[in-house]
A and B are shown apart, each in its own frame.
Chain A
Amino acid sequence: MINLTKTPLMTQKQLANPMQPEPFRVKRVMKESYDTFTLELEPIASERLFTFVPGQFNMLYIFGVGEIPVSISGDPNQPAMLVHTTRIVGSVTKAMSKLKAGDVLGVRGPFGTGWPVSDAEGCDVILVAGGIGLAPLRPVLYQTLAHRDRYGKIVLLYGTRSPEDILFRKELEKWRARFDLEIFVTVDYGDSDWHGNVGVVTKLIPKAPFDALNAVAMVCGPEVMMRFTAIELQKRGVRGDGIALSMERNMKCAIGLCGHCQFGPTFICKDGPVFTYPQLQSWLAQWEV
């Protein structure tokens, strides 16, 4: 019987001044694809550890340019290093993509709820990612693989635009070589070298190897993809309250005060970004919420 608990995490007590960015130094910038990149950041104060749970996000500030929410894509067991992966879509991410090792950017966080990683112990873990939605799910893979014996099957279903857009490709290939992790990738359009699946990620759900009656699913991608993924998972027999989704909205404060990230009655920043499917179900079916 799976029933996800919501995990409210950071409050004022943990963050002295939640609106004030802390400078972090860029250690490495890695190009993932033509429009995505990963930043490895280190706290300026060397003894500082950045602890977070998979699914949480930070507000990243480029000096004088602006600030945006970005999910954390790194390993929660390596708190000396903070890792973010994002796509170039606006002025801040564009400026971010031009950062070089040694540059500095501001960090506020971590904010929000995390994936139900401990609720999933004893269950099969199904991760369904669409595009850049793989980034906030990667910490779940690190976490579950670090405690592999606590979980049943671990299955990643990943849909992206084209073979060139595949995120964390080397890491995925390495993981795929393991016998205790199943990875299925599908693309919207392949090329002549692509011999894998073509089509939307929901098509992978019916044949994916997991025990639907004892599974926890974590889903991140475009809203419409998450909505239909939840429907497909339920058709397989996964309970609605065994499905977690991660939402995205405009955010200015990340602490529930600016009002921008409202989605129905929820504030995505503090009630989410990770929600259980029943919390959102009725709103996901509506337009312009």
Chain B
Amino acid sequence: MTLNISSNTKYVLESADFQQLIDVLVDMGYRVIGPTLDHNAVTYDDITSVTDLPIGWTDEQNAATYRLISRADEAFFGYVIAPQSWKKFLYPSQVRLWQATLANGSFEVAPEPEKSQPMAFIGVRACELHAIAIQDKIFLEGDYVDPTYHANRENLFMVAVNCGQAGGTCFCTSVNTGPKVETGYDLALTEVIDPETHYFVVEIGTERGRQVVEQLSVRAADKREAKLPKSITDQTATQMKRYLNTDGIKELLYANFENARWDDIAQRCLACTNCTMVCPTCFCTTVEDMTDLTGQQAERTRKWDSCFTMDFSYIHGGSVRYTSKSRYRQWMTHKLATWIDQFGTLGCVGCGRCITWCPAGIDITAELEAIRQTKGTAEAKKEVSNENVG
């Protein structure tokens, strides 16, 4: 620890010393969360040891396909992304908002205490950092702040890991969210592995990050090593198989609210809600009001919800979006068009989860392209009337 750690320098942490990073974060009081194996999938969960990591495993992802495959090496972060995003920690799928008790002919409401041990995430991908930045806009930067998200987000320590490979459903390059981690991290790691060596190039993003590196057995990266984060992610970018054409995307979808392609998608979409559950930016919730058996105690729980359910748009008389066509259209138009009006950014980070986890293998990039290639009713009508004038 004789090294004077500077934020402008890149360092090398040997894989054999990686446990130090986990230990330092635990000692600092963080609840350390990282990738681990569970139910034959990579899952972000509590970790205490390097051996909790999915060492030597990778994930094969494609439309409606996910499976773990063993790697030829012992890489710690040799997979692409977990099925569930970090959203489950920052904005849990189920939160009790308050409890109420009947008393003196009225009721008293007790809000839930905001309990939150600060969390440290290890293994956040570039697209996932962007997804968290998008949820920050929604929950922290609007007219109202969500207390749960705020409490979980406030002291979050972010160890990002650059992607050494692209998954079969990834398209981050086309939405400018990766594969290289650019901002929003405390530490960014690049895993370097070959038969002789296994180490991490460490980039420092914040003063907190610098203080953590001070406690690790690192050495300054040499010139060649310092270039690896860029060269490795450049290589990853070339593997990207899918592409979302964002050119005039908002106007395109606004002009194609009526388009035969929506009917075509509706033939395949099961309205199962998978895409919204795995999406790292989807934020919709519902509330459930319950009482105990005596009727004296009541509570309200908030749960993740999905615009694919009939209940979602229910008002007296029925659901506003009663066809799966309109529900898919709502989801995709929200992600790629209305989101821009609402939050100044796309609602999609190109992580590809919605493609992987759609049981029908519906691909948002392909559907957008299909809409681009066809003409919406409004546009087609205009053309017909122009012809008539001509």
Contacts and interface: CB of A to CB of B under 8 A. Distances in A.
B107 to A, nearest CB: 6
Contact of B145 (A12, A61, A260, A267): A12
A34 interface: no
Contacts of B109: 20-23, 106
Given A17-B111, A65-B289, A256 B105 contact: no
B302 to A, nearest CB: 8
Contact of B257 (A256, A257, A286): A286
B144 A260 contact: no
A53 interface: no
A288 B326 CA distance: 6
Nearest to A255: B144
Interface stretch (B44-52, B232-240, B305-313, B365-373): B305-313
Given A20-B109, A63-B102, A259 B315 contact: no
A61 B295 CA distance: 15
B286 A252 contact: yes
A30 interface: no
A253 B302 CA distance: 10
Interface string B273-298: 00000000001111101110001001
Interface in B87-114: 97-98, 100, 102, 105-109, 111
B110 to A, nearest CB: 9
Contacts of B105: 102, 104
A266 B108 CA distance: 34
B316 interface: yes
State the majority secondary structure of interface residues on B: mixed
B37 interface: no
Interface residues of A, number: 45
A248 B316 CA distance: 10
Given A106-B107, A262-B338, A19 B97 contact: yes
A258 B305 contact: yes
Contacts of A287: 326
A196 interface: no
A258 B285 contact: yes
Contacts of B146: 257
A220 B293 CA distance: 41
A267 B290 contact: no
A89 B316 contact: yes
B287 A253 contact: yes
Contact of A90 (B107, B295, B316, B338): B316
B6 interface: no
A256 B321 contact: no
Nearest to A62: B289
Contacts of A104: 105-107
Interface in A233-266: 248-250, 252-253, 255-260, 262, 264-265
B256 to A, nearest CB: 11
Interface string A36-71: 000000001000000000000000010111110000
B53 to A, nearest CB: 34
Contacts of A11: 143-144
B285 A253 contact: yes
Contacts of A23: 106-109
Point out which of B102, B139, B144 has the most chain A C-beta atoms below 10 A from its C-beta.
B144
Contacts of B307: 259
A138 interface: no
A256 B316 contact: no
B260 interface: no
Contacts of B337: 265
Nearest to A270: B143
Ranked 5 nearest A-B pairs via Cβ? A259-B284, A64-B291, A288-B326, A89-B316, A265-B341
25 contacts: A11-B143, A12-B144, A19-B97, A23-B106, A25-B106, A63-B107, A63-B298, A64-B295, A65-B289, A87-B316, A89-B316, A104-B105, A104-B106, A106-B100, A248-B315, A249-B313, A249-B320, A250-B313, A250-B314, A252-B305, A258-B284, A258-B285, A259-B305, A267-B342, A288-B323
Given A64-B295, A87-B316, A286-B258, 7 more contacts: A20-B98, A20-B109, A25-B106, A67-B289, A102-B105, A253-B285, A265-B338
